[in-house]
Amino acid sequence: PLITLDSSTSFTFLAEGTNTITVQVAAGNALIQDTKDIAVHEYFQSQLLSFSPNLDFHNPDIPEWRQDIGNVIKKALVK
């Protein structure tokens, strides 16, 4: 089990195959739990992206541009 107060977490599976993950979230008196089976096919390295303020300046009021750029980079990495 991994317990954290961070808003996100990551985990690296050591082998390919089907894995069952369970996520449990607690807030006040509420507790929510969800379980999913995920398939790990191969190792995939993720890249953290950071954007300069210039991109925000040239793309005002367009919040989708970060997602669009991320999709383009993801497709390039997959190839």
- The 10s digit of each residue's pLDDT in 47-59 is 666 667 777 777 7
User: For residue 27, what are the β-bridge partners?
Assistant: 30
The number of helices, as runs of H, and strands, as runs of E, in the chain is 2, 2
Structure tokens given for 11: 């985990």
Contacts for 39 with CB less than 8 Å, ≥ 6 apart = 17, 18, 19
Please give the pLDDT value at position 4. 78
Please give the pLDDT value at position 44. 65
Distance, CA of 8 to CA of 16 (rounded, Å): 23
pTM of the predicted model over 0.85: no
